[in-house]
Amino acid sequence: IPHPRPSSSTRLPRGSLQLPQFNKVGKALKLSSSQTISAFPSFASKALPAFAPAPQTLQSLTVFAAKRYKMKTHKASAKRFRVTGRGKIVRRRAGKQHLLAKKNTKRKLRLSKMQAVSRSDYDNVIGALPYLKVNRNAK
């Protein structure tokens, strides 16, 4: 079946591009939640014109954000480390589990407090806990 010729009022100028009509509810191109098209501006912000002028430079339509999988939290590490309000990672001190009778009170009190994780261990902790809100510049 041959396509009907457009009437003179809807004829497109040479080199222009006609975009397909989108649904009236979203006015957005149907992609997954993490994908967009880089060559077009946001469709949700303004209505689409019936005719679009041809772009001056050739731009390829590329999907620049693919679906990413969730990273798993190491649950044993999640129980051992906390983040302070300033974004530092803290841990408990070792040595307060048993044989407490021979340790003096001052030593046991010091072992009860939280200790900041060393900067050299940050990469290991963040690798085990990918969703921590860490401030790497905190001193």
Mean pLDDT, each 10-residue run in order, the chain (139 residues)? 57 60 52 51 55 60 70 95 94 96 97 95 94 85
pLDDT at 123: 93
pLDDT at 128: 95
pLDDT at 79: 96
| Nearest CA among 64, 68, 18 for reference residue 38 | 64
DSSP 8-state secondary structure symbol assigned to residue 93: P
pLDDT at 61: 61
To the question of pTM greater than 0.75 for the whole model, the response is no
Contact (Cβ atoms closer than 8 angstroms) between residue 21 and residue 50: no
CATH of 75-128, one of 4.10.410.60, 3.20.20.60, 1.10.10.10, 3.40.47.10: 4.10.410.60
pLDDT at 138: 77
CA dist 62 and 122 (Å) reads 36
